[in-house]
Chains A and B, each alone.
Chain A
């Protein structure tokens, strides 16, 4: 079993807002991230897949194919977009780094041939990133 990671970058705008809360509560919890005009980041996405090495090709997955899937499923949808306004999964979900990692997992899960999605890592800045290893039912049981 080998883990293989491919990176991609996208730039997008977002803001944090819970429509069930008052403006004051949004400001209190989200601070400057609640500015309704939005702000942006250069995000870096790392997709890690796990699989066996094909004895003929020596590949876990074809990197070109993985790049195309990431481009089609994620980058073409997120890049140079406003996540709250233009990406459907964030119409009613706050586009935090955590939720972006979950959303990208859901976009890619089951779409990469010959391998299993292992980890989605999303960097919002070089000093902040979120990792998602799958839905609770799909993850290995962890010690309490």
Chain B
């Protein structure tokens, strides 16, 4: 029998600032679209990133992926860049408004390169009251949809 396929989810926390602003729009239009999120000096959030990976459970380890590998990857590829940073100053957001939607898509790009399991979902909580999920380009969740 093939090894059972399991989804593993891990949550990471980082704090960052951002400002929602699009240079191509007028100052008035920016304020209209983004409201207080357009305030000139930015503001911040405690972001929570919940990522879901899937794969066959290795019979020798009982694992989809070794958490120490995943945590090292997350530290190096995500937390070292985003924690206590201003998102607008980071390369992915130099020409892209750092909404949490766009952050989800950027985090998908980062974790899609994780070599030891399949990326199924990126979910980002911007605050306890709003969260965003991305399942990759055009793909809806297999089990929850």
A contact set with B: CB distance below 8 Å: 16, 18, 20-21, 29-31, 93-99, 101-102, 118-119, 126-133, 135-136, 139-140, 142-143
Given A97-B8, A102-B4, A130-B6, 18 additional A-B pairs, CB 8 A: A16-B62, A21-B60, A29-B61, A94-B63, A95-B62, A98-B57, A98-B62, A98-B63, A99-B62, A127-B10, A128-B8, A128-B9, A128-B10, A131-B8, A132-B4, A132-B6, A136-B4, A140-B142
Please choose the segment from B15-23, B64-72, B76-84, B95-103 that sits at the chain A interface, where 4 or more of its residues have CB less than 8 A away: B64-72
Using Cβ atoms and an 8 Å threshold, which residues of chain B touch A136? Answer: 1-2, 4-5
Of all chain B residues, the one with the shortest Cβ separation from A105 is: B4
Q: Which of A118, A135, A142 contacts B4 (CB 8 A)?
A: A135
Majority secondary structure of chain B interface residues (helix, strand, loop or mixed): loop
Assess A98 versus B8: contact at CB under 8 Å? Given A31-B68, A119-B143, A128-B67. Answer: yes
CB pair A127–B11 under 8 Å, yes or no, is: yes
Q: What interface size band does chain B fall in?
A: 20 to 34
B contact set with A: CB distance below 8 Å: 1-2, 4-12, 52, 57, 60-64, 66-68, 139, 142-143
Using Cβ atoms and an 8 Å threshold, which residues of chain A touch B60? Answer: 18, 20-21
A102 to chain B, nearest CB (A): 5
Using Cβ atoms and an 8 Å threshold, which residues of chain A touch B63? Answer: 94, 96, 98
Complex: A2 Cα to B12 Cα, angstroms: 31
Using Cβ atoms and an 8 Å threshold, which residues of chain B touch A101? Answer: 6
Using Cβ atoms and an 8 Å threshold, which residues of chain A touch B6? Answer: 98, 101-102, 130-132
CB pair B8–A94 under 8 Å, yes or no, is: no
Could you pull out 26 A-B pairs where Cβ atoms are within 8 angstroms?
A18-B60, A20-B60, A29-B61, A30-B61, A31-B68, A94-B62, A94-B63, A95-B62, A96-B62, A98-B8, A98-B62, A98-B64, A99-B57, A101-B6, A102-B4, A118-B143, A127-B11, A128-B10, A128-B67, A130-B9, A131-B52, A133-B7, A135-B1, A136-B4, A140-B143, A143-B139
A72 to chain B, nearest CB (A): 24
Using Cβ atoms and an 8 Å threshold, which residues of chain B touch A16? Answer: 61-62
A136 to chain B, nearest CB (A): 5
CB pair A29–B66 under 8 Å, yes or no, is: yes
Using Cβ atoms and an 8 Å threshold, which residues of chain A touch B4? Answer: 102, 132, 135-136
Of all chain B residues, the one with the shortest Cβ separation from A125 is: B11
Using Cβ atoms and an 8 Å threshold, which residues of chain A touch B7? Answer: 130-133
Of all chain B residues, the one with the shortest Cβ separation from A123 is: B9
